[in-house]
Structure 1
Amino acid sequence: MESSEQRRPTRYVALGDSQSEGVGDGDDRTGLRGCADRLAELIAVHEPDVLYANLAVRGRLAAGVREGQLGPALALRPDLATVVAGVNDVLRPKFDADEVAGHLEAMFAALTAQGARVATVTFPDIAKLVPLAKGAAPRVTALNDRIRRAAERHGVAVADFARHEASTDPRMWSADRLHAAPSGHAMIAAGVAHALGLPGSDDGWTRPLPGPPPLAPAGLRGVAGELRWAVGFAGPWIGRRLRGRSSGDGRTAKRPELLPVRLAA
């Protein structure tokens, strides 16, 4: 049997969409950090020689992650991989939970068959963050149920954010309410590290933030706030959908090769 030291990750590859790419944690001018980068940093504290690649691209559907990232990920022969995708599918007019989960499970199966340890996440209730997306709540529940079952079949670790209220605290989310803020990306990284049982990890990510979350404005102020959000964020997103475009069009992976991890100062 391998020792715990031998099982520590030395080659980590992230697959996914904007959350793994790091949107909401930094910007395209100065660079994105994000939950996958933060997880790599947590690993590097105890395994300084770990190598890390990030193949995630914003806007990708689960099928696109499988088609465009699974092959390159397998070629890098990781001993740890994270697979996070499905929210973009949930927000599309046509959504099939079985189909989306099928793509995720195919990635779980291929990576674990090659010997990688794999981790994934469940998703919080979008309606608690975006009231206008109330109709998406049953979709998220359906996808989460399938993710848990697929993960169990393949021995995949799950950071089950859907079960913890901290995941829908607005302080964890950026202004667009669809991408985690830096604190949210840190929470995701901590949750995955805990699910994997990495050294130094604990269940602190499951606990509510200190103090009550800010109250949403009521009455006309609340309506005005929702309209501003719809114009500033939902409108451009809908416009891209109508034009058949994606926020990831023309983009490639930010870190396609395995490279050493530089710890944040």
Structure 2
Amino acid sequence: MASNLRAAQPFTRFVALGDSQTEGIGDPDGTGGHRGWADRLAERLAAADARVQYANLAVRGRLAAQIRSEQLAPAVALRPDLATVMAGMNDLVRPVFDMAATLTDIEAMVTGLRATGAEVVTFTYPDIGAITPIARPLSGRIRAMNAAMRVLAARHGVTLVDFEPVAATTHRLVWAEDRLHLSPLGHELVARAVADTLGIPGADASWRQPLPVANLGLDALIATEWRWAAHHFAPWVVRRVRGRSRGEQVYAKRPTLLPVHPQRESAAQRQGGEH
């Protein structure tokens, strides 16, 4: 599942770039903020080496071009020895998707971070058409984007966590009720996947194991789909039509490198509320 499976080495300066998934939406931290897979990965790194410092520049709603323009330069300035780039899904789900432009932005982030000497991790995407039926027309886009990401990762010698072949990544339990964001279980799965791919002490390949299948009856399935469409899909469409983003007036939750376990910020210190 990785293009660059490697022996473990100590990382002490971890910087995460991305959108809502990397920010941690869907994984509440108990104080009004968000935890997320990058926080969970940082905790695993710190368990192996107490010197670890961690910054998270991700902001919900950002397209790949915005992540590049807003987060790449600050990330490079932090001189990471480990950086993660999770970008492109917000582009992919738009009615008009320019895959070449999205890949150009991701490649610029990868090469910019590699130039600092950092180990760079990027990802393929799960098939969201398997998560929600209404998204099945996007499955072809996802497969094409994933194939291109494998080529990009190999060309630049970066670590690729390949989620597409792993059935657990499309399991309902891995996704929050809105089906746009990972659940706490999903964020934990991603953290475990990255840790395993990097060979972090204590990590293993159990994240690849299938999760129990939940068989819903037809009536329950229809009711579930209608409820999701009314409470989550329709509001998302309205925001897209209005050109609005939940990332407006939201800033990086952790813009500088800090020890992994400082006192968590209070909800009042976070910008933008729950979404």
Residues 53-92 of structure 1: CA deviation (Å, up to 9, x unaligned): 0000011111111011001000111010000011111110
Partner letter of residue 67 of structure 1?
A: S
Q: How many pairs were matched up?
A: 258
Runs of 4+ residues deviating >6 angstroms: none
- Alignment RMSD: 1.9
Aligned counterpart, 2:215 = 215
Unaligned residue ranges in structure 2 (runs of 5+): 1-5, 264-275
SS in 2 for 1:8: coil
Q: In 2, Cα distance between the equivalents of 1:193 and 1:6?
A: 9
SS in 2 for 1:163: coil
Partner letter of residue 71 of structure 2?
A: Q
Q: In 1, Cα distance between the equivalents of 2:149 and 2:100?
A: 10
Residues 184-235 of structure 1: CA deviation (Å, up to 9, x unaligned): 10100111111112222211111112xx3212341x4422321211111111
- Identify the structure with bigger relative contact order (alpha carbons < 8 Å, sequence gap 6+): 2
Aligned counterpart, 2:54 = 52
The alignment-based identity, stated in percent, is: 50
TM-score w.r.t. the length of structure 2 is 0.89
Q: Is the 8 A contact 2:21 2:60 kept in 1?
A: yes
Unaligned residue ranges in structure 1 (runs of 5+): none
Q: In 2, Cα distance between the equivalents of 1:6 and 1:180?
A: 27
TM-score w.r.t. the length of structure 1 is 0.93
Report how far residue 29 of structure 1 moved.
5.5
Partner letter of residue 247 of structure 1?
A: R
Partner letter of residue 204 of structure 2?
A: D
Greater CA drift, 147-156 or 75-84: 147-156
Aligned counterpart, 2:273 = none
Q: Is the 8 A contact 1:120 1:192 kept in 2?
A: no
Report how far residue 263 of structure 1 moved.
8.8
Residues 144-180 of structure 1: CA deviation (Å, up to 9, x unaligned): 1111111111111111111110111111111011111
Q: In 2, Cα distance between the equivalents of 1:205 and 1:101?
A: 27
Match of 2:23 among 21, 24, 27: 21
SS in 1 for 2:54: strand
Report how far residue 28 of structure 1 moved.
8.8
